[in-house]
Structure 1
């Protein structure tokens, strides 16, 4: 974590943060969609929008491990990913979309890419390790789940190996990919 003058990004792209007057605890990011394997997921219009009644929107959180999306949005993401992974499903893990890894393990397992899309053409290309987690019982799981809350959450697994610069005065957040192991 860097503060003051040392908190700089080389080529970060900025997003305007929003406050929810009904729940002022959180910062909301202007998410507009999700792309899977190069194709924009067909979610309802305004699915990620913060609504006047205080519901909706997507927050960025440093206390929740995996991304959570409203069930309707999550189900569209799941429907886009599931047919692209050619492994048997498993329910041996307490995550929603999991696949059984073979033994011996595949050397070149191809997984669909996932990109979080934001206003202004800002895209957050998630590395495989930010999208899928290897769990117990040789399971490979999508690091996203549906929730009953009326908003989405960008979890910390998706934030790994990205630098985020919070500018509270300007109400902006900037992001760029990073190799955090090299710090």
Structure 2
């Protein structure tokens, strides 16, 4: 972790939209390169400060409002090559082992943010192995009135905050450890 005026910011920026949290505009999501075509402004903060999507390193799961979650889930189910298991706490689960997260049996998602920033989220960041041959999504439907891009999906992602310019930079990376 680095602070100060001379920190190197990696990746492409997306504008920050809120003053109280790290709000960003998510334009769409892709599953294995196929766009979900989420309705426009689904993940934008409203004029009265409601809704939107925040980056939150203190919230493990990713929460997506219904208008974005359900089309994403439908497309995701079409691309997954593992057998569906019983949901756990509202999250999709599949029969699988830890190694399946790296075998191409679950799709990669790409989050398309305002400004041309595309963030790839591989299965090892969008699913977690829970033992007993079960892997479960780390994203689910939000009932919070807003969406949250949680810390588990930020694994192997370099995130930089330029508070003066009100931009957030993100780049996929390979963290050690």
TM-score of the pair, normalised by structure 2: 0.88
How far the C-alpha of 1:113 sits from its partner, in A, is: 1.3
More displaced 10-residue stretch of structure 1: 135-144 or 158-167: 135-144
Q: Which has the higher strand share?
A: 1
Is residue 173 of structure 1 aligned with residue 176 of structure 2?
no
Aligned length: 176
Deviation string for 1:38-71 (max 9, x for gaps)?
A: 1110222211111113222100001111210112
Is residue 56 of structure 1 aligned with residue 51 of structure 2?
yes
- Paired residue for 1:18? 17
Is residue 90 of structure 1 aligned with residue 89 of structure 2?
no
> Structure 1 CA distance, aligned partners of 2:68 and 2:102?
32
Equivalent residue runs for 1:142-161 within 5 Å: 142-161=137-156
Contact conserved, 2:91 with 2:138, CA < 8 A, in 1? no
Contact conserved, 1:29 with 1:58, CA < 8 A, in 2? yes
- Paired residue for 2:3? 3
Structure exhibiting the larger radius of gyration computed from Cα positions: 1
Give the alignment's Cα RMSD to 1 decimal.
2.3
- Paired residue for 1:43? 38
> Structure 1 CA distance, aligned partners of 2:124 and 2:34?
20
How far the C-alpha of 1:5 sits from its partner, in A, is: 5.6
- Name the SS of the counterpart of 1:25 in structure 2: coil
TM-score of the pair, normalised by structure 1: 0.86
Which 5+ residue runs of structure 1 have no aligned equivalent? Answer: none
